[in-house]
Structures are given as C-alpha cells and as structure tokens.
A and B are shown apart, each in its own frame.
Chain A
Amino acid sequence: MAKLNVLQHELVPAHHVVKKEEEDKVLKELGIAKDLLPRISRSDPAIKALEEIHGPLEGGTIIKISRKSPTMGYSVYYRVVTSEVFK
C-alpha cells in the first residue's frame, strides 16, 4: 500500500519550504526577526512529509503555509522548523 502523504489531504494546508536565499526577503517583508516567528516541530507530520521530498530539514528552515480562507481566498502563514517537541 502506498504511504499516505498528509500534504495531499484536502484538510491539510499547503506547506512549502522557503529557500535559504529567499529567507531574508520574506523576513524583510514581514518586518520581523526569525526567532519571533511561530514554530513547527520537526516531528510534525507535515514536516516529515516535506523531508521525504527535500531531504532532512535543518532547524531554522522557514516553512510557508498557505491556508484556504473563505474571506481572503487564501492566507499565508510562516513557521520555523525546530527540534523542540510540543506537548
């Protein structure tokens, strides 16, 4: 049986890795330091799915999440990968 890719589920918003060279641009646009961004655990299923494609993601990688929104069409959210495990 093929392994389920959570990112393809319709209830999971699209996760994209922000390339290293684009990070500065994104942070500048947001006007914020990296350590103030929301975080996402490395053990998160979405990250595991991304790692299948991109190989291991190191801590500090920015993930761009595009969510569907009834009022906006879609809305963008950013998270930083961390090795912390959230409870």
Chain B
Amino acid sequence: MTGGISKRIYRIQFALLSPEEIRKMSQVKVITADTYDDDGYPIERGLMDLHMGVIEPGLKCATCGGKVDECPGHFGHIELAMPVVHVGFIKEIKTLLDATCKSCGRIKLTEDEIRSYRERMENISLSTSDPEVIGLMSKRITEEASSRSVCPHCGTQHSKLILDKPTTFREEGIKVTPKEIRERMERIRDDELLFFGLNKEVARPEWMILTVLPVPPINLRPSITLETGERSEDDLTHKLVDIIRISQRLRESRDNGSPQLIIEDLWDLLQFHVTTYFDNQTAGIPPARHRSGRALKTLVQRLKGKEGRFRSNLSGKRVNFSARTVISPEPFLSVNEVGVPEKAARELTVPVSVNTFNVEQVRELVARGPEARDESDRYLAGVNYIIRPDGRRIKVTTQNAEENSKRVEPGWTVERQLTEGDIVLFNRQPSLHRMSMMGHTVRILDSQTFRFNLAVCTPYNADFDGDEMNLHIIQKEEARAEARIIMKVQEQIMSPRFGGPIIGGIHDHITAMFLLTHGNPMIPENVGVHMLSYLDLDEMPPVEVHDGKRYYRGRDIFSLILPKGLNLRFSSKLCASAREKCEYEDDPEDKYVTIINGRMVHGTIDEAAIGSFSGVIIDRIFRKYGPEATAKFIDSMTRLGVGFLSIRGFSTGISDYDIPESAIARIEEISNDAIERTEKLVETYRKGELMPSPGRSVEDTLEIEVLSTTGMVRDESGKIASNFLGLNNPSVIMARSGARAKMLNISEVAGMVGQQSVRGGRLNRGYYGRTLPHFKQGDLGATARGFVKSSYMSGLNPLEYFMHSIGGREGLVDIAVRTSRSGYMQRRLINAFEDLKVNESLRVEDTVGAVIQFKYGEDGVDPTKSDKGKTIDVDYHAYDIEHEVA
C-alpha cells in the first residue's frame, strides 16, 4: 500500500435493479441447468458458461479474454417463466399494496391530502435528507392511506390483504399471484412514489417482483474438485440449478396447457427456490437442503452473523505466525515467560534479514536444518525457509541444509524457528482489557501445551480446565521493541482500571505466605534450606537456636524475597476488622504488617499484602522499584510458595467441616426457632395486627421481617459453626487469608444454607399462590418460601433442593444476560473509540483532529500510575521517609 487516500466516497445511492438493467449487465442468458459436459468442459449457456468468468487455469474468459486471475467475473441472467416475489422486499411490497388502490393504482389519499403531503415530502429531498426522517414521514402517510378501505379516486372497495409468511398474499382467502401483484405495482403512478420514500428514477415498485434473475459470476461460486476427482458445486450453483429446472418445467406446463393446479404447484415451487436462493433461513419455510442433509448456505447466509462475510472475513481475519493450544501451569517459569511446545516452535518462524554483519551466524543457522538439536539432544532453532531477494522461497530440509547455507548472501531473508528469548504476544479471549494480550519471552518446553506462571491467570482470566490460548510471533523489529517496552507482562502489572496491581498472588501463593508468616513459625534449618533451594538467593536468613536445634523464622524467610529498603505498614486482611487487638494474633503489634528496610517484623501476609487487585506489597514494590523488581518478587513468591507448600503439605476435604453433635443440635434448634418465629409473624399478619413500618405496606413489612429473621439465623449458625473451626482448619485458612472462598461458604457447608431468594425477595412464584404443589395455597411460612435449614454437609431434602435450584437459577440467568449485554456494549464502545488517539499534548482527538477531550480524562492523569485513582498516598511516603536507612 502506498498511503494517501486515492478515492473518497462522495455518496451512496441505493436502487433496485430493473429487468432491463439485469439483462444489460448480463453477458449470457443461461438456459440449461447443466454445468459441465462429459469432458469437464463448461456447457454453453449453462451455469458455468465461460462468459461468466473462468476458474480453471488454462481456459480464457469468453467475455474479457482474461485468464483465471485477470478476469473479474461477469454476470449472466435467467429469464423466469413466471414472475416471483423477492423476499427481501416483502415488507415494502405489502406497504405498497396496502396503501394503493388495486384497480386504479392511485395512493388511497384524497386530492387535498395528496397536495399537502406532497408539499411536505418535496421539502425534504430524498437524496440528501436523513433517511430516518424520510422513513418516519413516509410511514405516517402510508399508514393513513392503508387504513382507508374505499379508494377516494375510483371508489373501489378494498378488503384486507393478508400476508401469509413468507411470500404469499391473500385477499378474502384467495391467493393474489405475483403476476397480479406486479400488474398492480405497474399501475402505481411515478409521481406518487415519493410518498413511499422511493425515487422514481431508480426504483419502480414492480421491480420488486422478479421476472429476470441475475446469475452471479463464477468467481463467486467456484466449483471445487474433491480428491476423488469428483466435482462439487457451490451451494449457490445448486440453487440456481433448481431455479432453472423448475422455471423450465413451469414454462413447458404453461405452454402445453397443463391443468391450472399443476401450474400453480410449479409456480409455488419456483417461488420457494428463488426465496431460499436469497435467504435459506426465511421464517415459515423449511430450509433447502443438500443431499447430505446439510442446509444450503445461500446469499443471506454468506453475509449474516458471526460466520458471515462482515464479522468473519472483513472485521476479523485468520492470521499467520500464530498458534493455539491448551494451557497449563508452570510455577518455575517467570511471569514474563511462556512455555511453548517444541512442535509449535518448529512451525513458528521469525524472519531474519541477512546482512554483512550476521551472514556467518545465519549460514550456521541454516546449516542446522529444520530439525536442529544440540549434543544433549535439546531443541535448537533451525530454519524452515530461505527467501531470495527476488522473493522466491526455498524450503530447507535436513538433506539440503548444508548446501543451502552456502547460498545465503546479504540481502536474503531467513525464516528462523522460534528460540528461547524471542518475544511473542500471548492472548486469551475474550480480550476484554489490554492485559488480555501481553508480551512474553519464549521458553521451549516438552509436551503439547502452552505454560505460564500462575500469577498471570488473573489478567487473562484463565484457568486450566481446558482453556486454550493464542500465541502470535512478532515479525518486525519495531513491533518487537514495542512488545518489550510496553506489552511485556511486568509492564502490565498495574491495571489502568483501578490504579493497583492486577497481577499478584493467587490461591496457593496466598495460602503459603500466610502459613509462612502467621505467628512467625519456627522452621527447622534442614526444612528451611530445602524450601530455599527453590529460590535464587545471595544470602541466608538468620538462624535461631532453641534447645540446641537450629531454626529459621517464617517471616525472615519471607523477608528474603523483599527488596532491600522497603518500608511499609498496613493492616492485614486477617485483622482488618479488628479494633484494638486482633483475635487471631498473639502479639497486638501483629495487627499490622510491618516491613522496615525490606525486613518483615510484624503481621501476617495474606490477600491484602500480595493478592492480585489488592496486594499492597506488590503495589509499593512496583512504585518504588519498578516493573523488573516486581516481576522478580512475584516469581520468587511463586517458587517459595511451591517450596513451602510441598514440604509442609496442605489439603482440604469434607472433614474440614466436621462440627460436634452439640453444635449441630444447636443449629437445628435455632433454625426451628426461626421457622416458628416466621409462623408467628405470619399469624400476626393474618390477624391484621402487623404494624407496617414507615413507608411500606403490611405485606412488604412482613417480608422484610421474615428475611431479617432468616438472615439472622444463618449468621448465627455460621457463628456457631465457626466456633469449632479455627485457624488450624485448611478451609478456614483459605477463607481468612483470602486465598479462596469466604467464611459464608464455610457456614453454608457446616452450618446452614439459609433463605433462598429471587430478585432480593423470598421465593414466591411457581404454582398458583404457592411455590410448589406440596404446600397449601397462600402458605407464607418459612419452608414454603425457600428457607433451607439443612447444610450442604448434612444434605438438602427434596423440597430444599428445589428451592435451592430456584435461587441458583437466578445467578445463571444473570450471568447469561449480563455477558451478552455487556459484550455488545463493549463492542459499541470499542467501535466508537477505536480511532481516537491521545496526542503529544495529552489532547484526545479523532482522525480529523477534532477534539474529544482537551486533556486526557480531563485531568491528564494516567489511571495506571494513579494510586487507586488518587494522586498520592501521603501517609505511605511519610512512613517510607521516616524509616529510610541513611
């Protein structure tokens, strides 16, 4: 492409093709339904006639003389035996027929009305005005004309015209044939067309009834030759064959005076074929099928929907130099890396231009061939193709590698296989934010999957239950530079969404760091050393001796991965709700995580410290030490977590939720109590003694009262259960540290599931006056309205199970509705914003240079660099400076 705009669209006009025009643009009148003769040569005046273009090499176009790639293709045409309706215009045809007189063809308006409307319509020019305005106006006029049953001009009485979807019109139950429709349309006067929004120059209404059908160029419907040598025609060709056959039979039947019934049947059949030729998903008729039973893809199907021309071929295209496979985790990779299977690496290439400086290295590379390995049989990047300066590609094989390497000269290009350290783009759909596509450096690994550090799951929103991801190999230096400088994972740790880290510890990181630091455990030296062997360290933690045995302390081990000079004090998640002393910590000072000069002295590391979205430590390291140090911290944290957990062990199971019989009995008691209290509330209500709370009806008051009662018992039962589930319980550890699940989930399993709700209220729909047929009508009791007193552990009874499913469905419906709606909203936003840019002076402009915002975001602040949306955290900086080591 040479840049610059060569042509500008001045205007677009939509028009109807007239039969004359169709014939005029046609190069051949197609009369036989056959395609090729026995020798495989296109039959003259058949559907593959050479006048409509060529698809076979060696043949020449009979119209323009061009060969395969030169001929643009030309239209042909079919003369239909009888006119048929064009489905695409069915709405317009209906309006035209409804609004005009069937005998005189005038619009059913009085002369006065015509005069006044004409004045108004002529005021707005058809070609320059807003189509919406014209449409609205014409709709009003035609509706008025349609509502009149007697023609004001000739007095003809009209009965209602009914459209029998998709293409049949009936008047008093009698079919109006397309031929008759066409005649009626012909009678409509030119000067009255403007009431329908039609331009008489280019759109006569009778052209909406087809008498001639254009046959698209062969280029649009090429036949393919199967491996068996059998020829397979395009779906459009199949459809055109049907149309010609039926049209022929119809012509014969009509000409030799067959019974009217047979003619009508054939005519209907022709209408069916022409309709499905345009749109094979027309409502009201069965789709035309291939012999194999597959529905044919006809004109509309080629364009419409996700798989259509627009969304699949124009807005989005398949790309080269990309790979897709299943993903799996690998904690020993850095967040900046991606593991690529050897099989993929051999196929994916980077172009290397040969110059005088690298020619020797490149020759060596080529000499390795396409299946290079080193002495220890490990992967080495080879070369798949070499490209001569004239663009000719030479395939490199193990046999010709040596020889080809000698041919390579400066000016040539070599397609080198992927190698360790290459920067690539890694992506997971749906790509909802910029962190959905990040730059990674390549590590070549065995096996079949892409692998990456678990901390990167969050920005991609990936898990490993079968998710697949895409990899794109960058082909240009500029793009590689951009990928390294702005797209690399470590550069994307801070999210522009909330000005905090989006990459950070997840499940196991948090559990491990929690266990490592909570209560500052003593770790025997040998165990500690094993854990530390997972890390790359320059120093060892201090040793403490107790009873002659040597120990490391958990917080000291964690401190090893913190950068020197980090000063930080914040409340841990564990103690976030504590006032004076935290109930989970022995030392009151441990309510806060205190880090001085990179040494953790107090507190417990949990979600608030290292989690993605919230991690304070990650946030501060990034701001003070930059992307690289942060990436290193996360990498070390992942490894330390694996090291720690694999030696300590950590698992969860159903026994986590065992609580004593007495507690179960107590929960049973309070839930029965709640049911009873609900019963009482309902009784007071029935007696009419319930006092409505201000601004509410009695019914609402009752519902709110009951909800608060049932809500209370659930909390209560949760408390009872948690009393027996302490911080030595794995599930509780995960919930309290923020690694996974909430305490609520634990109380649902051990205590009680509680009140189910739909749209914030108790369940109330289903059968007449009751949720299920097991209850009396109008039963407002707890059980009848979705109170589940069982726990997941004890199991739900059938009624409870139903209630729970009703409540659960709301969530599913919400998700289904939300994703599709937000997806469409996002699409619209992206389309609106896609070519806006922020210029050097932070001004937001569109492509013309028109201002959208005078300063990006009106304040010029990059939210990525903001502190959770605020400009600066003064308290932190004060603390940091206070503890700065001189």
User: Which residues of A pack against B, CB within 8 Å?
Assistant: 30-32, 35-38, 67, 69, 71-72, 75-78
Contact = CB atoms under 8 A, between A and B. Distances in A.
A14 to B, nearest CB: 14
B859 A32 contact: no
Nearest to A39: B850
A75 B858 contact: yes
Given A69-B859, A71-B861, A36 B851 contact: yes
B773 interface: no
Given A35-B850, A36-B848, A75-B859, 16 more contacts: A30-B854, A31-B841, A36-B849, A36-B850, A36-B851, A37-B850, A38-B850, A38-B852, A67-B858, A69-B858, A71-B861, A71-B866, A71-B870, A71-B871, A75-B854, A77-B858
B863 to A, nearest CB: 10
Contacts of B870: 71
A39 B194 CA distance: 34
Contacts of A31: 841
A19 to B, nearest CB: 19
A38 B861 CA distance: 21
Contacts of B848: 36
Contacts of B851: 32, 36-38
B251 interface: no
Interface of B: 841, 845, 848-855, 858-859, 861, 866, 870-871
Contact of A71 (B845, B853, B859): B859
A35 B855 CA distance: 18
Contacts of B858: 67, 69, 72, 75, 77
Contact of B859 (A30, A35, A36, A72): A72
17 contacts: A31-B841, A32-B851, A36-B849, A36-B850, A37-B851, A38-B850, A38-B851, A67-B858, A69-B858, A71-B859, A71-B871, A75-B854, A75-B855, A75-B858, A76-B854, A77-B853, A78-B854
Nearest to B850: A36
A25 to B, nearest CB: 16
A29 B848 CA distance: 20
A67 B841 CA distance: 20
Contacts, number: 33
Nearest to B848: A36
A67 B853 CA distance: 13
Contacts of A37: 850-851
Nearest to B845: A36
A66 to B, nearest CB: 11
A6 to B, nearest CB: 21
A30 B861 CA distance: 19
Contacts of B866: 71
A30 B854 CA distance: 8
Nearest to A72: B859
Contacts of B849: 36
A75 B851 CA distance: 15
Q: Which 4 A-B pairs have the closest CB atoms?
A: A75-B858, A72-B859, A71-B859, A36-B850
A31 B839 CA distance: 13
B130 to A, nearest CB: 9
B862 to A, nearest CB: 11
A76 B476 CA distance: 41
A37 B854 CA distance: 9
A61 B56 CA distance: 65
A77 B866 CA distance: 22
A69 B853 CA distance: 14
Contacts of B871: 71
A53 to B, nearest CB: 25
Contacts of A71: 859, 861, 866, 870-871
Contacts of A32: 851
B870 to A, nearest CB: 8
- In the complex, which of the residues B845, B849, B851 has the most CB atoms of chain A within 10 Å of its own CB atom? B851
A38 B836 CA distance: 14
A32 B854 CA distance: 10
Contacts of B841: 31
Contacts of B855: 75
Contacts of A67: 858
A77 B850 CA distance: 13
A75 to B, nearest CB: 4
A30 B843 CA distance: 10
Contacts of A78: 854
A71 B841 CA distance: 18
Nearest to A78: B854
Contacts of B861: 71
A36 B844 CA distance: 12
A38 B851 CA distance: 6
B74 to A, nearest CB: 42
A35 B850 CA distance: 8
B662 to A, nearest CB: 54
Nearest to A32: B851
Contacts of A75: 854-855, 858-859
Nearest to B858: A75
Contacts of A76: 854
Contacts of B853: 77
Nearest to A76: B854
B720 to A, nearest CB: 45
- In the complex, which of the residues B841, B858, B866 has the most CB atoms of chain A within 10 Å of its own CB atom? B858
A32 B841 CA distance: 12
Contacts of B850: 35-38
B873 to A, nearest CB: 14
A28 B728 CA distance: 69
A66 B861 CA distance: 18
A17 B853 CA distance: 19
Contacts of A69: 858-859
Nearest to B132: A87
A31 B849 CA distance: 12
A4 to B, nearest CB: 27
Contacts of A77: 853-854, 858
A36 B847 CA distance: 11
A77 B861 CA distance: 16
A56 to B, nearest CB: 25
A75 B852 CA distance: 14
A37 B852 CA distance: 8
Nearest to A35: B850
A76 to B, nearest CB: 7
Contacts of B845: 36
B711 to A, nearest CB: 36
B127 to A, nearest CB: 20
A77 B856 CA distance: 12
B196 to A, nearest CB: 24
A77 B843 CA distance: 12
Contacts of A30: 854
A36 B850 CA distance: 4
B835 to A, nearest CB: 15
A57 to B, nearest CB: 20
Nearest to B855: A75
A67 B858 CA distance: 9
A76 B848 CA distance: 22
Nearest to B846: A36
B420 to A, nearest CB: 44
A72 B858 CA distance: 8
A37 B855 CA distance: 13
A72 B854 CA distance: 14
B842 to A, nearest CB: 12
A37 B851 CA distance: 6
A82 B526 CA distance: 79
A70 to B, nearest CB: 8
A32 B846 CA distance: 14
A63 to B, nearest CB: 13
B110 to A, nearest CB: 33
A32 B855 CA distance: 13
A75 B861 CA distance: 12
A70 B859 CA distance: 9
A30 B839 CA distance: 13
Contacts of A38: 850-852
A30 B866 CA distance: 26
